[in-house]
Structure 1
Amino acid sequence: MWWRPALREAAESLGAAVTSAIALGLAFVVLDAAGARSWLDVLLAAVLIAVGHRLARPVLRVVASVLGIVGAMVAGLAAQVVVAWAALTLVAGIVVRSWLEVLVLLVVASVVLASGRWLVGANDSSYVVGDVLRVAPAGARRGETSGARPRGLLVVQLDGVSREVLVHAVQAGLAPTITRWLRSGSHRLAGWWASVPATTPASQAGLLHGSTAAVPAFRWWDKELGRVVVTNHPVDAALVEARLSDGHGLLAHGGAAVSTMFTGDAPTALLVMSRARGRRGPGPGTAFIRFFASPYVLTRTIGLTLGEMVKELYQGHRQRVRRVEPRVPRRGAYVALRALSNVLLRDLNTAVVAEQLLDGAPTVFVDLVDYDEIAHHAGPLRPEALRALEGLDRVLHVLVQVAARAPRDYAVVVLSDHGQSLGATFEQVEGASLLEVVRDLMTPETGGGRAAAVRSDAREEWSPLNALLGASGGARVTDRSAPAASGRGGARRDAAVDASAGADAEAEPRPEVAVTASGNLAMLWFPRLPGRVPLEEIARRWPLLVDGLLARAAIGVVVAATAHRGPVAIGARGTRLLADGVDLASAVHGQDPLAPYGPRARPDLLRLAGLADAGDLVVVSSVDRYGQVHAFEELVGSHGGLGGAQNDALLLHPADWTVEADLCTDVDGTSRLVGAESVHQQLVRWQRALGVRP
């Protein structure tokens, strides 16, 4: 009947008003200074607050369009206080004495709402989206369509989740939404091989733009620019995208990119790293105003963010008390980082994606980083990391609910960019950082001086916040005049260098060696020498370097170019030529150094060695029989190189879709997509089948 959608809409609005009234009423009970005469007065105030926010939104959208995301946040918060003050003042039976009381009432009411929803097992993110749905066009709310809806594609990236980890989560009951899809037969779980470098920027370059050729690692020395390029710096992300883009990316035809490294040529880019320092920054403020201005939503999110910080402190303490090994310190800035990424950014992303679905974007691609952040510091299969998957599964449930009311009939694909592997860090195993080891091996035995070196201090986990804030960072240069370090605490002199300095970098003296790390993959460059430096030249100049690296138990293989035989993988007890067309007997001398890494090691390292900006030396940590590796960063869960589950990415797609055989390669007896470029090609074919791409 025609009246049923309207009745359902009215019931939803009334239910929201009653829920808000209960929260406000309990807030009045908690605060002695403020008071209300009756519950009816509180209900009337809740209704007035909701109406006031609806009336204020057009003005807020104008403000946000001028001032951007920061203006949207400030205006939204101010509007919440002003509207609440006006509503509470208009109701005769309510007494509030100051703006501060109004603000405290809103915060307490938000905490009550969040606590109540937790007690009844309600979905956290559904509250954010519930507001978006209520202010959406009536046709979208009621699911009205004229005939069959056109198709659409929603791609959700679960950052860092391996296929193996998702299977564990399903078996543990932590992913009920995905479990229902699999058991009902609506979706099929497959995997794909995340080629080296198994990092977010490389995989997203392939997924969104169809090429990873411009991304040899998470961070690298660019000999042409004369500086370190770090992909979670907005300026550098824009530089990389300019090298990648041909204008026909995955999202080129009306798509939307949310919280990604690159745009995929999307006309709508929100919280995208490569656009964070552009004219529109993280995106137009109007895209975020509903989230920031919605009654109780932002204050509730802030409350949950603080709660997440407390949870992290407790969980980190539990690891230390129980002496869980391996582990890394989980204090300092990471506590706030986890809270911001796992609550604030997740809620913001959910709200933004919901709006894009209700606006009918043909393809929407979003990256959710919750699991990846926690797994880096806790471990890929540790309880807190798996619990993050529980939250991501709830987000999927909410987005499917929104998609059911969208003007398009969205198919949902869930994928990851890589997995993660557990292991003690290189520094924990060896007692020194890779940079310190390299400088010692390049230094004459007299110990008189140390090689001038550069390294990047940017951390991958700051990527989402860099996109939100439009932040940029630098590289650290270690001056060659620093005295030899004594163990881990040796003295040295540091100078800050802007990693996006461009031409100014040429004025700085180039370091003798540049060392960067991407998980258990590291690279060394010799910036004072032109082009790719062959192994023979490295051995002549620094005869102790390669052998000294391989003498370390935490290093498994070093890859270098040779003058006449192409790239070679060198291990402690043997070597292997990487070139195609060489039979195994001729390629291997001594023990095969790639044997522990599986059948994809040779082609992956050969491809990596052929990239223009690959290191003069490529270093991969050792891997044990349990798949544990050693990150060259202080991360207990890592990815970037080879070993363990880091290359086992997931692909969850509608069951009636096929992964086409001509795009697949045999990997240890299983036919699967290899490399993000292959996944991109498959996604493009699915787009065309849906009619969202010409």
Structure 2
Amino acid sequence: MENTNYSNVNKAKIILTSIITGIINILIVIAMPMLSADFVLGPWTNAIIIIVLLTVANTILWPIFTKILMRFFIITFGIGALLLNGLMFYGVAYYLPEVKIGIGGALIATLFINIATTLIFNIANIDFYNNYIIKKLSKKVKNKKRAANKHPGLIMLEIDGLAKEILDEAIEKGYMPTLKRWIENKTHTLKEWETDLSSQTGASQAGILHGNNKDIIAYRWVEKENNNKIIVSSNFSHAPLIEQKISDGNGLLSDKGASRANMFSGDSDNFIFTSSKIIELNKLYNKTWYSVFTTSNSFQRIFVLFLWDILKELKSQIVHKIKNIQPRMKRGIVYATLRAGGNVFLREVVTETLAGDILNGEINSAYATYVGYDEVAHHSGIRDNDVWSVLKEIDLEINRLENAESISKRPYEFVILSDHGQGNGATFKQRYGITLGNFVRRFLPEDMKSLRTDEESDHFRNSYIPKNESIENIREKMDNIKNHDIFEEYESLQNIKEKSIDFLKIDELYKSEQIQTLRKKYSDSLDYIRGYEASQHTTKKASDSELIVLGSGNLGLIYLTQWKHRLTYEEIISLFPDLIPGLVKHPGIGFILVNSLANGGMVIGKNGIYYLESDEIIGENPLANFGKNAPKHLKRHNTFKNMPDILVNSFYDPESGDICAFEELIGSHGGLGGTQTKPFILYPSDWDCPDELVGAKSIYDLLKNGMKKLKEE
């Protein structure tokens, strides 16, 4: 692949930068007695001796220590490397005349030395250090046996949460020159694709990496039959179980592929920081980790950048408060640390390990995720100044890998893509002063017990009843009564009244006092939705769950957990007549999805109903602003196991692009509406690509076909 940066590293500049770095490091050692009471230097010439001896020791001993202690470095997330660096400083200084030093002083000295080294390299040339690391890696592998496969490999890099619209802006503003060059040189083609419902990593990566995301309703869901257990897609215990269900052994990475920082493995045996595999402690060690600890400064540089990112986030928090940027959410030092972990630590580990993979040439493919944009956009906003710096850094990482490929003996093609986008806007709680969960409780009995959930996390799952016939089997006997309304055609249901559904017999349901009252007062379901005046109740705290409300971005899930099956529309209005009208009349809610015994999926808005089985619309179309494929996505979703009793989607404003999350995140995704369902893929221009890419499975197919094409070259 064409590359413009690696060959431009000037040797004289490297030498000069190294000399300046050495002088600065000597000055730091001279200043150490003033910075640490645990350090006495003696003659200033000892500083020169310490730096020279440390350089020699690192050159000779670091590769040996790395081979011996690699597993220790990994299980300590690199802290072991920092300790070793301090011990080596301590070792070379301890025996010098008049030097008195403790371990604390040695660690502080190495920290300041690494800060200075990273700063100087970045000032000299921000790409220099990256090229330096790649050059060192290439020397490490040049004498190794090359891979038998000579056909080009494929490196797939995901920028988590980046919508095509935001990528276009980043390129136009000059933050992503590498991708811009690829597009302008016509080596790659940029295309928008459309996610499934739900628009989040769990569903998208399952589809992209395994070609199957069936039954992944959102990031987390409830299993009613399993004691109301909440399943979380990225949970280290739950992700392996999900992968077992979606995998057929023919994942995207099943043929000598590598997984880096993903939720699922794509059936790869070569993985680092992959949620579905991370508990396999016996496979935690991977030889590719060596790339992260190539030199004594490699991980130390990552640590310095980690600290720097924390400071950048704290500065951003102050700026947001001073400028009163809205919408804004509460952030703090804990979030700053988590942000640095995703935006720096994972980013650097992904790039360093992939650079080693590319130079080794042993893998046929790799799929890796850069999570920084998604994390920062969640908390700062999808167009905040914070995200542009994150995207600029990711572009530099892509260029580093391009540099590695340019000197690798095996060629690799690159694909850059995102798994979903994000939408922006104040949260439901910020707008209306109440969480979705507490709002739902207003329409339920006062003594009904609900589960308190974390408003800042997403996701769920839920099963159909094991007893009796399932809803699908019942529907097979109901073809002749499709699209009849509960208020109009009670008699048409008599032929299936023997099929009970674990809560009420059909005849008991339709003869209930509540249903009879509603049928007398309202002519049809839309009349009921529009005309019913819902009562709001004050709720009480309770310990046991009879109600669970989860938020996944602007997608909400309501589970009425006293019943182990998914309640039908008919059952809900019989049990809780206030609930559905109360929900859809709220300005923060765009529509809800419920399943009707008579009609199948019903999408209900404030002024209209969309019957998914027949594509019949009564009143106003509640999906008018949510895209032409919204009915198809919802119809498919309605067949998933463990669906909530009521699926809720927030409003979407086409003019402002605003949505509102049911969790406390400014940038969010998970439902329908706007840029959250419009990610991108940047692929080699000589690939054959369909005119329209809808659903994560379409990306799986495109990438699989691309791999097949590369094997034929």
Which TM bucket (shorter chain)? Answer: 0.7 to 0.9
1:640 and 1:692, CA in 2 relative to 1: closer, same or farther beyond 3 A? farther
Q: CA deviation at 1:318?
A: 1.5
Determine if contact 2:548/2:561 at 8 Å carries over to the other structure.
Answer: yes
| Cα displacement string for residues 218-252 of structure 1 (whole angstroms, at most 9, x for unaligned residues) | 00012343311011211111111111111110000
Q: CA deviation at 1:382?
A: 1.1
Q: Secondary structure of the residue that 2:281 maps to in structure 1? A: coil
Point out where structure 2 has 5 or more consecutive residues left out of the alignment. 1-5, 34-39, 460-535
Q: How does 1:140-155 map to 2 (within 5 A)?
A: 149-155=150-156
Structure 1 match to 2:61? 52
Match of 1:613 among 626, 630, 642: 642
Distance in 2 between the 1:409 and 1:38 partners? 46
Determine if contact 1:232/1:460 at 8 Å carries over to the other structure.
Answer: no
1:681 and 1:94, CA in 2 relative to 1: closer, same or farther beyond 3 A? farther
Which residue type is aligned with residue 673 of structure 2?
Answer: G
Q: How does 1:64-143 map to 2 (within 5 A)?
A: 64=71, 69-71=74-76, 73-88=78-93, 95=99, 97-123=101-127, 126=130, 129-130=133-134, 133=137, 136-139=140-143
Structure 2 match to 1:431? 433
Structure 2 match to 1:604? 633
Which residue type is aligned with residue 640 of structure 1?
Answer: G
Q: CA deviation at 1:60?
A: 2.0
Distance in 1 between the 2:141 and 2:347 partners? 24
Which residue type is aligned with residue 47 of structure 1?
Answer: V
Determine if contact 1:80/1:294 at 8 Å carries over to the other structure.
Answer: no
Determine if contact 1:219/1:230 at 8 Å carries over to the other structure.
Answer: yes
Which residue type is aligned with residue 337 of structure 2?
Answer: A
Determine if contact 1:68/1:284 at 8 Å carries over to the other structure.
Answer: no
Determine if the alignment matches structure 1 residue 577 to structure 2 residue 577: no
Which residue type is aligned with residue 606 of structure 1?
Answer: K
Q: CA deviation at 1:353?
A: 1.8
1:9 and 1:262, CA in 2 relative to 1: closer, same or farther beyond 3 A? farther
Q: CA deviation at 1:622?
A: 0.4
Determine if contact 1:17/1:50 at 8 Å carries over to the other structure.
Answer: no
Distance in 1 between the 2:172 and 2:575 partners? 54
Structure 1 match to 2:196? 195
Determine if contact 2:122/2:129 at 8 Å carries over to the other structure.
Answer: no
Determine if contact 1:555/1:621 at 8 Å carries over to the other structure.
Answer: yes
Distance in 2 between the 1:45 and 1:331 partners? 38
Determine if contact 2:66/2:293 at 8 Å carries over to the other structure.
Answer: no
Determine if contact 1:576/1:593 at 8 Å carries over to the other structure.
Answer: yes
Determine if contact 1:304/1:343 at 8 Å carries over to the other structure.
Answer: yes
Structure 2 match to 1:665? none
Q: CA deviation at 1:185?
A: 1.5
Determine if the alignment matches structure 1 residue 538 to structure 2 residue 608: no
1:136 and 1:554, CA in 2 relative to 1: closer, same or farther beyond 3 A? same
Determine if contact 2:189/2:685 at 8 Å carries over to the other structure.
Answer: yes
| Cα displacement string for residues 69-88 of structure 1 (whole angstroms, at most 9, x for unaligned residues) | 21573542333233333344
Q: CA deviation at 1:493?
A: 5.7
| Cα displacement string for residues 50-79 of structure 1 (whole angstroms, at most 9, x for unaligned residues) | 222023222224xx1xx5821573542333
Which residue type is aligned with residue 84 of structure 2?
Answer: A
Please report the TM-score for the alignment, with normalisation by the length of structure 1: 0.83
Q: CA deviation at 1:313?
A: 1.7
Q: CA deviation at 1:10?
A: 11
Q: CA deviation at 1:454?
A: 5.5
Paired residues, number: 619
| Cα displacement string for residues 479-501 of structure 1 (whole angstroms, at most 9, x for unaligned residues) | xxxxxx999xx98466xxxxxxx
Q: CA deviation at 1:458?
A: 6.9
Structure 2 match to 1:557? 591
Match of 1:382 among 377, 381, 384: 384
Q: Which has the larger radius of gyration?
A: 2
Distance in 2 between the 1:161 and 1:30 partners? 45
Distance in 1 between the 2:612 and 2:542 partners? 40
Structure 2 match to 1:683? 703
RMSD of aligned residue pairs (Cα, Å) = 3.1
Distance in 1 between the 2:246 and 2:111 partners? 45
Which residue type is aligned with residue 665 of structure 2?
Answer: L
Please report the TM-score for the alignment, with normalisation by the length of structure 2: 0.81
Q: CA deviation at 1:289?
A: 5.0
Distance in 2 between the 1:348 and 1:389 partners? 17
Q: Secondary structure of the residue that 1:229 maps to in structure 2? A: strand
Distance in 1 between the 2:427 and 2:324 partners? 16
| Cα displacement string for residues 98-150 of structure 1 (whole angstroms, at most 9, x for unaligned residues) | 3333222211111101211232341387178447616622247xxx9899943
Determine if contact 1:162/1:418 at 8 Å carries over to the other structure.
Answer: yes
Distance in 2 between the 1:30 and 1:116 partners? 18
Q: Secondary structure of the residue that 1:635 maps to in structure 2? A: coil
Determine if contact 1:159/1:369 at 8 Å carries over to the other structure.
Answer: yes
Structure 1 match to 2:672? 642
Distance in 2 between the 1:361 and 1:493 partners? 54
Q: CA deviation at 1:513?
A: 2.1
Q: CA deviation at 1:618?
A: 0.8
Q: CA deviation at 1:407?
A: 4.0
Distance in 2 between the 1:71 and 1:114 partners? 22
Q: CA deviation at 1:551?
A: 1.9
Which residue type is aligned with residue 79 of structure 1?
Answer: L
Determine if contact 1:232/1:261 at 8 Å carries over to the other structure.
Answer: yes
Q: Secondary structure of the residue that 1:645 maps to in structure 2? A: helix
Q: Secondary structure of the residue that 2:197 maps to in structure 1? A: coil
Q: How does 1:272-291 map to 2 (within 5 A)?
A: 272-280=274-282, 283-284=284-285, 286-291=287-292
Structure 2 match to 1:521? 555
Determine if contact 2:270/2:286 at 8 Å carries over to the other structure.
Answer: no
Structure 2 match to 1:622? 651
Q: CA deviation at 1:36?
A: 3.4
Distance in 2 between the 1:682 and 1:152 partners? 15
Q: CA deviation at 1:49?
A: 2.0
1:375 and 1:55, CA in 2 relative to 1: closer, same or farther beyond 3 A? same
Structure 2 match to 1:499? none
Structure 2 match to 1:500? none
Q: CA deviation at 1:96?
A: 5.7
Point out where structure 1 has 5 or more consecutive residues left out of the alignment. 462-484, 495-508, 662-670
| Cα displacement string for residues 306-364 of structure 1 (whole angstroms, at most 9, x for unaligned residues) | 22222112212212221222222222521211122112221122222222223321111
Determine if contact 2:458/2:550 at 8 Å carries over to the other structure.
Answer: no
Distance in 2 between the 1:114 and 1:551 partners? 56
1:573 and 1:220, CA in 2 relative to 1: closer, same or farther beyond 3 A? same
Q: How does 1:275-424 map to 2 (within 5 A)?
A: 275-280=277-282, 283-284=284-285, 286-292=287-293, 294-359=295-360, 360-424=362-426
Determine if contact 1:107/1:296 at 8 Å carries over to the other structure.
Answer: no
| Cα displacement string for residues 635-670 of structure 1 (whole angstroms, at most 9, x for unaligned residues) | 1100111112101111001122221x3xxxxxxxxx
Distance in 1 between the 2:712 and 2:100 partners? 53
Identity %: 27
Distance in 2 between the 1:159 and 1:426 partners? 24
Determine if contact 1:251/1:363 at 8 Å carries over to the other structure.
Answer: yes
Determine if contact 1:354/1:402 at 8 Å carries over to the other structure.
Answer: yes
Distance in 1 between the 2:162 and 2:647 partners? 25
| Cα displacement string for residues 277-313 of structure 1 (whole angstroms, at most 9, x for unaligned residues) | 22336x2165435535731333332232222222112
1:553 and 1:674, CA in 2 relative to 1: closer, same or farther beyond 3 A? same
Which residue type is aligned with residue 100 of structure 1?
Answer: G
Which residue type is aligned with residue 123 of structure 2?
Answer: L
Q: How does 1:443-592 map to 2 (within 5 A)?
A: 443=445, 447=446, 449-453=447-451, 455=453, 459=457, 492=541, 511-579=545-613, 582=614, 587-592=616-621
